[in-house]
Each structure stands twice: as structure tokens, then as C-alpha cells.
Amino acid sequence: MARNVRGEGRLDTGLVLVCVALAVLALLSPRRSRDEVAAVLRASVLSPLVQLEARASGVRAAIVARNDLLTTRGRAVADTLSLRAISDENATLRKLLGLSARLQDGFVPAEVLPSRGGDEFTINLTVGSNVGVQPFLPVVTADGLVGMVESVDQGSSSVIMWAHPDFRVSGMSVDQNAFGIVQPHLATGPERWLLEMRGVPFRAKLDSGTLIVSSGLGATYPRGIPVGTVIGELNTPEKWARTYLVKPAVLPENIGPVLVLMPGRSQRGVNGVWTSVAAADSAARAVAAAGDSVARAAALDELAARRAAFDSLLADSLAAGDTIGGGLGTRLPARLPMRADSVKRDSVRRDSVARRPTAGRN
């Protein structure tokens, strides 16, 4: 065993000495000779290693290029999301400024504090008793009702949202034909974030898309704050009243800056502050009707122009001595761009005109 180790050590030493000698010889040989020998070695003995190195370089370049592409795409996606978030935030702030201008006074703006766990149906605001905020004040956005102030500290306040199990608001349809109590829809999954309007009289049937606003009954929510829109009717064992599923006007992910309505503002009411869906639909119908009126007026103008052209041709024919009606032929244009009813009315004119020359000759 010792002999084998000693023999292998001698072989290694000999190979090292040979390599050193070849290296010294290569250094001392002319440059042209070294290049020729290197070319022969690369084409014969070192050919597989050279090919392997070339492939490794290609793979390395492809990996680097892919990493750069993924980094660029990720940066572009992040910039796009950031721009979209900024655009949405700007739109929300503009809408809130519009709401503030319509309210004019009697409110306190507030920011929503980051959630630190706990109840997912409760949010914290950056205003408190130091600016006059007190419990049972409504919290709103430009889209509608968010919830109600539950508790107040010196510089912050806690608000229960419409999804909180304790939330209740007296609601009515925007046309004031149906009243009921709006409360959270206690279901599982995504339906948990819906509302239901209970106790609606059976005679009052609400269509899908009907706007539900606060009715003002009670001392918490003034009349006219949008609460949500009707999705459909729920089947319940109650036969004396209807229950409707309602989509909230303010979704949880859209809750940003809010306004807290102060007692004085609530007492004066918020009539005309929020634009109702019914008003928007009426405006749309008015625009459509106006468009139809314009189209009808244009059609009547075109018809009047065609009739005037026909009368002008008829007058020219009479002035040239042409006869109309009787047993003689009528010299009229080959094609007239007239409707059937217009031609019938014009035929009456031609008959009346045709009788005048006959009366003159008699």
C-alpha cells in the first residue's frame, strides 16, 4: 500500500516537472510558434473544452438577458401600478373636494389610519375630540355612507363600517316609495360584503339598480346619503314584507379620505349634496330624447326641402306650357326622392293645378 502511494507520488511529480518544462519552453519559443501550437491544441485535444466554454458563455448571456428583461418588466409593472394608484387617489380626492364644496361647512376631513389587526369591520381616523368629533356621527365619502363614529379619543376615533354586525340605518328608495332597515348581509364568502334591506312593505317592489339612501328617521344619519343599489330580492319566510340584497355605495377597498358630518350639518340635512342615480338616468333620457328630437327635425327639414324642389320643378313645367293631368302626358323628372305619402299629397296638388287651365279656357 505504501509502495502504491509512493509510486503515484512520483508519477505526479514527473507530470508536474513535464508541465513546467513545457511551460518554460513555450515562454522561450517565438510567438508565432506558440500561436501555431496553441491552434493545434485547441483544434485537437482541447476542442471539447472550447465548445463547452462557448456553450457556457451563451447560456450565461441568455440568463443575464432574461434577468434584465424580467427586471425591466417588473419595473414597468410597478410603475404602471403606481401610476394607476396615484390616478385613483387623485380621482378620489377630486370627488371629495367636490363633496366638500357642496357641503360648504359642518364637516371634518380625516384620514384612515393603517389597520393593526383586530376587527376588520372597524377603521380608525386621524381626528378626535380635539376637533369636536363625538360618538354617533356619520362618516361619508363622495360615493356615500361609510359608517358611524363609535368611540372617540383626544386625537383619533374609531368607526364601525356598514359591514359591522351592529350597523343599522333606516333607508328608503330614492323615489320615496319604499322604506326599510339596511343592515349587513350575514353570509359567507364574498356575499359577506353586501347589505340587505329588510322590512320593505310587500306592496313596494324595487327594481334592480334602484338607489337606496338614508331616510333621515332617527338622530344619526341625515336624509339623502347614498347607502347602496338594489341587486335583487331575497327569498325569506316573511310574507308581509320584502327583503332586498343591496350593493354598498362605498366598497372597502375604496375607503380613503373621509368626512365626518358634525351635528349642525346633520340637523340642516344634506339635500342635493349627492347626485342620485335617478337624476342621472333622467338626464340620460333627456339627452336621448333631445337627440331624437334633433334627428326628427333634420328629417322634417330634408322633407321640406324635397317638397320645395318638387314645387319648383312643377312651376317650371307650367311656365313652359306643359299640361298636367287630363289625357296629355305629364313632363316630370324621371325620379323624385319623395316618400309615398308625400307623392300622394302632391298628386292632389297636381289635380288642383290641372283644373285651373281648363277653367281659363272655358
For the chain, first and last CA: distance in Å? Answer: 155
Q: Which of 187, 186, 184, 274 is nearest to 222 (CA)?
A: 274
3-state secondary structure 110-124: ECECCCCCCCCCEEE
Higher pLDDT, 332 or 46: 46
Residue range 208-223: average pLDDT?
Answer: 88
Which three cell numbers, joined as nine digits, stand for 190?
364574498
pLDDT at 315: 61
57-68 pLDDT, tens digit per residue, is 888 888 988 888
Q: How far is CA 137 from CA 151, 216, 246, 298, 300, in A?
A: 10, 13, 23, 55, 58
Residue range 135-161: average pLDDT?
Answer: 90
pLDDT at 169: 92
Q: Is residue 250 pLDDT above 80, yes or no?
A: yes
Q: d(Cα 171, Cα 312) in Å, to the nearest integer?
A: 66
DSSP 328: S
Supply the angle between the helices 277-319 and 340-361 in degrees, to the nearest 10: 30
Q: Which alpha helices (H) appear in 249-335, and where do they start and end?
A: 263-268, 277-319
Helix (H, G, I), strand (E, B) or coil at 259: strand
296-328 pLDDT, tens digit per residue, is 566 666 667 666 666 666 566 555 554 444 433
Q: d(Cα 336, Cα 333) in Å, to the nearest integer?
A: 7
pLDDT at 351: 40
The beta strands (E) that lie in the chain are given as 107-110, 122-125, 138-140, 145-152, 157-161, 169-173, 179-184, 195-201, 211-214, 226-234, 241-248, 258-261
- Rounded to two decimals, what is the model's pTM? 0.54
Residue range 27-53: average pLDDT?
Answer: 76
- CATH tag, 107-275: 2.40.10.350
Q: d(Cα 295, Cα 85) in Å, to the nearest integer?
A: 42
Residues of the chain with CATH 2.40.10.350: 107-275
The CB density around residue 242, as the number of other CB atoms within 10 Å, is 21
Q: Is residue 360 pLDDT above 50, yes or no?
A: no
Residue range 13-23: average pLDDT?
Answer: 80
Which three cell numbers, joined as nine digits, stand for 261?
358630518
User: Which range, 68-77, 169-178, 313-322, has the best average confidence (pLDDT)?
Assistant: 169-178
